[in-house]
Structure 1
Amino acid sequence: SKYNLKKRRPKMLPEQLNFLDRFDNFYQVIVNAVKEDKVNERDFSLFKNALLTNGFINKESL
């Protein structure tokens, strides 16, 4: 195509990258806790609903 969208895409700010890195670490802790049976169904549902409510995940991804 005559437009190169990759060149026009703005880079993420360091603060945004830092947030994503921290969120990824936090999410991995939750995943590991679920795998190790350290999180009960109620707590997992609360966490999942918080992610849905705040737009971090959508229903189609579940």
Structure 2
Amino acid sequence: MTVTPQADGYVIILRPGDHQKVTHPDRYFVPYDSVIPSGDDNFHICLHPTEEHENCFFAPSEAM
């Protein structure tokens, strides 16, 4: 997973192997006001019901 902060949110790039549902490279955008603090020092993304649908994104609190 590649996470890049932008002025208004994060751009996330996932490739096969980064997530169990990912079968081809995908790009997601998550506005900062939709980011949830993670309980660890890692980024996490929830894809549901398919890899085309990002429904939650967690970021380390120091990255927010």
TM range (shorter): under 0.3
- TM-score, scaled relative to structure 1: 0.26
Higher strand share: 2
- TM-score, scaled relative to structure 2: 0.26
**Between Structure 1 and Structure 2, whose CA radius of gyration is higher?**
1
Larger relative contact order (Cα-Cα within 8 Å, sequence gap ≥ 6): 2
